[in-house]
A = this chain, B = another copy of it.
Amino acid sequence: MSRKISVSQYLPILRWGRDYDKVKLVDDSMAAVIVAIMLVPQALALALVAGLPAQAGLYASIFGLSIYALCGTSNTLSVGPVAVLSLMTAAALGKLGLSSSAELVAAALTLAFLSGVFLLLLGLMRLGFMANFLSHPVISAFITASAILIGLSQMQHLLGISSSGQNIVELLTSLAASMNEISWLTLGLGLGSIAIIIWCRTGLNSLLTKLGLGSRLVTSISRSGPVIVALLTGLLCYVFRLDQQGVQLLGDVPAGLPGLTVPDFSVDLIRNLFWSAILLSIIGFVESISVAQTLAAKRREQIDLDQELVGLGAANIGASFSGGFPVCGGFSRSVVNFDAGAATPAAGLLTAMLIAIVALFLTPLLYWLPKVALASIILVAVYPLLDFSALGKSWGYSKADFAAVSITLFLTLLVGVEIGIASGVLASILMHLYKTSQPHVAVIGRVPGTEHFRNEQRHDVETFDNILSIRIDESLYFANTRFLEELIFSLMAKKPKLEHVILMCTAVNAIDMSALQTLEKINQTLSEIGIKLHLSEVKGPIMDKLTKTTLFANLSGSNYLSHNQAVEDLKDHELPLSGL
């Protein structure tokens, strides 16, 4: 392969950029406007969720979007600040015990840099499969718990009081302590804002549709609730000087684009943020690709998971050098981008340009924006993330999944995001190992008159005193070898006339080294007491591996292609004793 191809592999813009035309530009521009309208207030609000100054949200969006547009493979993924990552950023920074805003901003850069490097490394080493260790129910429980924590963290702005905390107990205690300072005016503004945003999405949406407006225009207007709220509440604050009546304003947001910022590379800071960065990157990656994959499939496009890691990694490193904080692909924003017709990653570049214009020219207006308006925007945005159905569904379907869901949900709420997600991942892995360590096994017999073998406990089947036929419904590997050994020895103890043990391997997809050694050991132990071990119906790929070993050479019995053939062969030897 030439060098040119490998560059375009890591810079997909070189591929789609070649065919870029005016039609695509119009589509992308339209989508960019709609996404930018949605993103500006969200970005400001999410920076506050992360415990950072509002402008960090704008910077993270500009550089997250534009760098991903160069390296990402999804045409529609909208990269920038997202709620769950902002919460995780707040949790990671919260542990550091920093007080000044400047220190927090610096630590956020390091965090974004570390997670960017981690994602990039995973991508370059093609280790995207790491994300697989997060099970769906665990992610869903984690996102639900995170949404609750984010909602609670915004309550202070909605009520005009101040609170803090990394888990539900701390947040509720902190809120309860300042309940007597509630600013009713602030609360009123907040509830009004929430009502307007919801109405834009529902009432206004159907009204405009009835009026016959085009669906893109309807989407665009109905998604502009947050902007309308921002303008309206800002205007109210300015005209009536509501800040003098207890409403907290966003205050000064510096104008212009960020200068080049260099993350703090002190060893202590890196050590303290290391695991946070890893958890945060994996969550960000999983959230990004799950939406990117779904949207791509809808248009029969494909995304490259390893290149996505590279794209997201580069976006985070970019954010870390430009005053941002950790970013990933946002679910709802990407869906809006898709629905609005984004044709290529250029839509992201255009969105970034629009946000840059806001950062350059419109920040003076942001001074009057009340924090409660941003809190309302966040509350409406995280509400759809609440999904307790995983608890109910998993209870009915699988107790192991239920346990993993409960552990994730409750530990995230009660202890914090990092312990919560780490415990969830660990629990699901351990429970998977537990389940496969005790596989479903059937002692089988032949359905009379056929060549079919079925579980002797479920069916009326013929068995033979000198033969023990066992079907194992699981791959054989280290976690269940002891089970297999125990099983055979205990079944054997119940059959005094036993001469042959036949393992039917139709459902055995793999045999690892431990299982191979266990089979050899079982074979030896059985042959010492005069019992032969046979295998039947071993799959092709496993046969390929086993023939390279000494198993078949040492096997006291044979390896049969068909279980029925094995039984026919082996019961015959017995016939002269019992039959004649």
Contact = CB atoms under 8 A, between A and B. Distances in A.
A474 B475 contact: yes
Contact of A479 (B133, B493, B518): B133
A133 B398 contact: no
Contacts of A394: 513
A389 B132 CA distance: 33
Point out which of A132, A133, A298, A302 has the most chain B C-beta atoms below 10 A from its C-beta. Answer: A132
Interface in A427-477: 428-429, 432-440, 473-475, 477
Contact of A432 (B137, B479, B489): B479
A163 B138 CA distance: 51
A479 to B, nearest CB: 5
A131 B482 contact: yes
Given A440-B509, A490-B302, A473 B539 contact: yes
Nearest to A286: B482
Contacts of A432: 433, 477-479, 512
A379 interface: no
A435 B510 contact: yes
A434 B130 CA distance: 8
| Copies of this protein in the complex | 2
Nearest to A548: B396
A332 to B, nearest CB: 17
A302 B136 contact: no
A541 B474 CA distance: 13
Nearest to A546: B397
A134 B518 CA distance: 13
Contact of A483 (B132, B137, B437, B486): B132
A549 B392 CA distance: 11
A10 B151 CA distance: 52
Contacts of A516: 397
Contacts of A545: 397-398
Contacts of A289: 482
A529 B518 CA distance: 49
A438 B293 contact: no
A568 interface: no
A136 B513 contact: yes
A561 B474 CA distance: 21
Which 8 interchain pairs have the tightest Cβ spacing? A135-B478, A401-B513, A136-B514, A135-B514, A132-B479, A136-B517, A297-B489, A297-B525
Interface of A: 129, 131-138, 289, 293-294, 296-298, 300-302, 305, 390, 393-394, 396-398, 400-401, 428-429, 432-440, 473-475, 477-483, 485-486, 489-490, 492-493, 506-507, 509-510, 512-514, 516-518, 521, 525-526, 528-529, 539, 541, 545, 548-549
6 contacts: A129-B437, A132-B433, A135-B514, A293-B482, A298-B525, A432-B477
